[in-house]
Amino acid sequence: MIHVLATIQLQAGQREAFLNAFHQVMPHVHQEQGCIEYGPSIDADSTLSVQTRVGDDTVVIIEKWDSLEALAAHTTAPHMLEYRQKVKALVVSTTVNILQPA
């Protein structure tokens, strides 16, 4: 299994617009072969002192794939190419961590 944490830093005030576009592509991704989990996350409203907030203009995408091959196919899927063009102006930077169980 492959775990992916994609941290998306957005233009100020653009989180809702980004999430709207993301939620439109999610059903297509969930149908991809090898997709186990794929969804956006934002800061939880907690008072836990251990929490490091990502901030109002950041979304973390949490993904699980059954293989690196499935993840590679996802990156070139037509709906993902279209989605990236749709959100390009909203995104400042992206950091992708590809991890495996230890």
Per-residue model confidence as pLDDT tens digits over 5-35: 999 999 999 999 999 999 999 999 999 999 9
Residues 40, 94, 91, 25, CA torsion sign: negative
Structural domain boundaries, residue 57: 2-99
Domain count, the chain: 1
Tell me how crowded residue 8 is: count the other CB atoms within 10 A of its CB.
22
Residue 17: CATH number of its domain: 3.30.70.100
| Predicted TM-score of the model (pTM) | 0.94
Instruction: Provide the b/e sequence for 58-75 (b: ≥16 CB within 10 Å).
Output: bbbbebbbeeeebbebbe
